[in-house]
Homo-oligomer: A and B are copies of this chain.
Amino acid sequence: MLRASGIGKRFGERRVLRGVDLDLARGGFLVVTGPNGSGKTTLLRICAGLARPTEGELEVEVGRGEVGYLGHDPLVYRELTALENLDLYGRLYRVPERRERVGMLLERFGLWEARHDRVGSYSRGMTQRLALCRVLLHDPALLVLDEPYTALDAEGAVLLDAQLEELRAERALLVSTHDPERVERFATAHLGLAAA
């Protein structure tokens, strides 16, 4: 699904990643760990297609529409409601049964009651839940999740566990975290990045 060899990234003078190799097949669950500033986010952005490595080869076997990327920013519009945001993404990703799926995800992540509120008024955990809805909306084949448990309460974390459990058989997952124990039972491979 995803194969990278010798990936490196530099920002101007500063080299952030060097010689990263990874190989992720369907059913794979790769956990990326590393201290703050070690380049996890940079690597995940490259794998999701948002950035370009300055060195090395990257091969992604799925199309752009089959990747789901959860970043540090929720990538939703604060001035729109949850419904409007998901509806926009649903249209762009040409999700079949868009409205039903949006409703289902909002309910699953406990945002149904708040669906007509401006996202700007959401609490941080609610925003993260919405970002998860956004990522799952088009049922991607490759999921790239950057610290997905951030800001979730215990119930939200259990919800996410269930999602990951459900997804991992048929999808490929690339997940960064500072708490590898949390995802230990899903992991099929580990990648530790060293401090810059």
Interface residues of A (CB under 8 A from B): 11, 34-37, 40-41, 72, 110, 114, 121-126, 128-129, 147, 150-157, 178
Contact = CB atoms under 8 A, between A and B. Distances in A.
B125 A36 contact: yes
B178 A35 contact: no
A125 B155 CA distance: 24
Contacts of A37: 114, 122-123, 125-126
B36 A156 contact: yes
21 contacts: A11-B121, A35-B155, A35-B156, A36-B110, A36-B124, A36-B125, A36-B126, A36-B128, A36-B152, A36-B153, A36-B155, A36-B156, A37-B123, A37-B125, A41-B123, A72-B124, A147-B151, A150-B151, A151-B178, A152-B178, A153-B178
Contact of A153 (B35, B124, B153, B157): B35
Give the number of times this chain occurs in the complex, counting copies.
2
Given A35-B153, A36-B125, A36-B128, 15 more contacts: A11-B121, A34-B153, A35-B125, A36-B124, A36-B152, A36-B153, A36-B156, A37-B114, A37-B125, A37-B126, A41-B123, A125-B178, A151-B178, A152-B178, A157-B178
